């Protein structure tokens, strides 16, 4: 007994303050790194190896002054842009802030080149070690400037692919309202189907954009993590609301998730027009308009047994369709792959959360009716929802 007490006392005396203990591993880490860097044990591998150079092109803009190429140094070593070749010819250029880029530095390369509208150009960035980084311009067209007229034109595209179809879809609300209760479950299951498709589609879109993000930002893991955290975050926020409001609240959540999805579609259309792919853009506008009309059904289904005021429908349509306008602006004037990937991940997480909510609704409603959750009606609704989305997506795929 006494022996134990003394050891405890001793231990107490020897005990260091907690903050010091917490810093101990960090201090050890710092010492290890200093030893590693000073002794440089990897020098054996890099005796004569040239630096690793990795420039990634972020954006190409064409205007009356020529071409502006925005790049980021995605490699571990500094890169010096020594010369610029356009269509296999050396051209004068200037780099704001100097032509040597450290890791993750960005730079704008200004080239006074008389580009030809509607034709293709290829730029080669030649580094000081002779490494080349190609920059493709598939169709040269003046990059839209964000003046009032252009913003309005792009906004109109967003209205066509977002607000118009969602509003038209909401016009089915009276039909859904007047159907039999059993059909109500069908419509909710259909909503789950629509949303499952949108979640998968948004996630893949985010992953594809993330693949073009500079490696250091770990785009694809980021997409998965943001999706997951968004899902959990909204579940947590939505878990303690009152039952009476919950249907309308759910409709708003669905509208929000769909809004993020439509933002992604707006990005696609805006970028297509900005890149001069007008025919593709026109084709996409029509496709998305048809594709998105079913989104209105998904928003309306949860509130079929309630009678929300008209302004709620206006707000729901704006929430679900409006982000398409923001998407066309970003896609057209300021496309940034990292931001786009994050937006779409948030969208995927938000849609997954409403999938979870509406699915719970279907289960509860089926239990009340004394039918299994996976009744033929529900399965038919789910499959119908996915099939409608898949088939209308053929219009834009």
Partner 1 sequence: MTRQFSRRKFIFGTVGTAAAAAAARLAAKVSGESLLQGNAPRPHGPHSDAVAGPVGTVDHARNGFHPVELLTDFDYGDRVYEENGRTVREYDLVAFDKEIELVPGVFFPAWTFNGRVPGPTIRCTEGDLLRINFTNAGTHPHTIHFHGIHPAAMDGVPISPNMVNMPRDLTGPGMLQPGESFTYEFDAEPFGCHLYHCHAIPLKRHIHKGLYGMFIIDPKEGRPPANELVMVMNAFDTNFDNANEVYAANTIGFAYMDDPIPVRVGELVRVYLMNIVEFDLINSFHLHATFFDYYDHGTTLEPTLRTVDTIIQAQGQRGILEFRYKHPGMYMFHAHISEFTELGWMGMFHVTEGDETVSHDNHRNHGS
Q: Please give the residues from 314 up to 333 whose contact with partner 1 meets the rule CB under 8 A.
A: 331
Contacts with partner 1 in 377-396 (CB under 8 A)? 396
Q: 126 or 247, CB closer to partner 1? A: 126
Q: How many residues lie near partner 1 (CB under 8 A)?
A: 73
296 forms part of the interface with partner 1 (CB under 8 A): no
For the beta carbon of residue 273, count every other beta carbon within 10 angstroms: 23
For partner 1, which residue of 30, 33, 120, 314 counts as binding (CB under 8 A)? Answer: 120
For partner 1, which residue of 113, 187, 197, 343 counts as binding (CB under 8 A)? Answer: 113
For partner 1, which residue of 46, 129, 145, 367 counts as binding (CB under 8 A)? Answer: 129
Contacts with partner 1 in 69-98 (CB under 8 A)? 80, 82-85, 88-94
For partner 1, which residue of 62, 258, 304, 382 counts as binding (CB under 8 A)? Answer: 62
Q: How far is the CB of 273 from partner 1 (least distance, A)?
A: 6
Q: How far is the CB of 226 from partner 1 (least distance, A)?
A: 18
Q: Segment near partner 1 (CB under 8 A), from 107-115, 316-324, 357-365, 378-386?
A: 107-115
Residues 207-226 as x/- pattern, contact with partner 1 by CB under 8 A:
-xx--x--------------
64 forms part of the interface with partner 1 (CB under 8 A): yes
119 forms part of the interface with partner 1 (CB under 8 A): yes
């Amino acid at each position: 007994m006494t022996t134990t007490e003394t050891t405890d006392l001793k231990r107490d005396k020897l005990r260091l303050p907690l903050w010091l203990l917490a810093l101990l591993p960090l201090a050890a880490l710092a010492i290890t790194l200093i030893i590693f860097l000073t002794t440089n044990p990897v020098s054996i591998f890099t005796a004569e190896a040239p630096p690793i150079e990795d420039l990634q092109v972020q954006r190409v803009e064409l205007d009356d002054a020529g071409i502006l190429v925005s790049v980021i140094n995605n490699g571990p070593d500094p890169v010096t842009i020594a010369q610029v070749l356009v269509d296999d010819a050396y051209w004068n250029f200037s780099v704001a802030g100097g032509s040597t880029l450290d890791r993750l530095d960005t730079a704008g390369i200004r080239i006074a080149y008389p580009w030809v509208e509607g034709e293709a150009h290829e730029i080669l960035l030649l580094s000081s070690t002779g490494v080349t980084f190609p920059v493709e311009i598939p169709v040269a067209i003046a990059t839209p400037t964000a003046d009032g007229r252009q913003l309005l034109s792009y906004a109109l595209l967003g209205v066509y692919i977002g607000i118009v179809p969602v509003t038209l879809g909401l016009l089915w609300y009276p039909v859904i309202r007047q159907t039999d209760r059993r059909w109500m479950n069908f419509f909710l299951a259909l909503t789950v189907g629509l949303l499952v498709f949108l979640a998968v589609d948004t996630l893949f879109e985010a992953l594809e954009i993330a693949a073009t993000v500079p490696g250091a930002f770990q785009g694809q893991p980021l997409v998965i993590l943001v999706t997951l955290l968004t899902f959990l975050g909204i579940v947590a926020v939505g878990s303690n609301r009152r039952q009476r409001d919950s249907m309308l609240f759910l409709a708003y959540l669905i509208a929000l998730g769909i809004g993020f999805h439509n933002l992604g579609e707006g990005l696609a259309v805006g970028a297509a027009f900005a890149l001069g792919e007008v025919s593709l853009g026109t084709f996409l506008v029509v496709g998305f308009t048809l594709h998105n009309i079913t989104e209105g059904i998904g928003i309306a289904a949860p509130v079929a047994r309630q009678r929300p005021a008209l302004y709620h429908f206006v707000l729901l349509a704006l929430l679900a369709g409006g982000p398409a306008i923001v998407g066309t602006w970003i896609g057209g004037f300021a496309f940034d792959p990292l931001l786009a990937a994050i937006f779409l991940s948030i969208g995927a997480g938000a849609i997954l959360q409403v999938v979870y909510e509406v699915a719970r609704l279907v289960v509860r409603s089926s239990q009340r009716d004394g039918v299994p959750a996976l009744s033929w009606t529900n399965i038919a609704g789910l499959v119908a929802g996915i099939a409608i989305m898949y088939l209308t997506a053929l219009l834009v795929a």
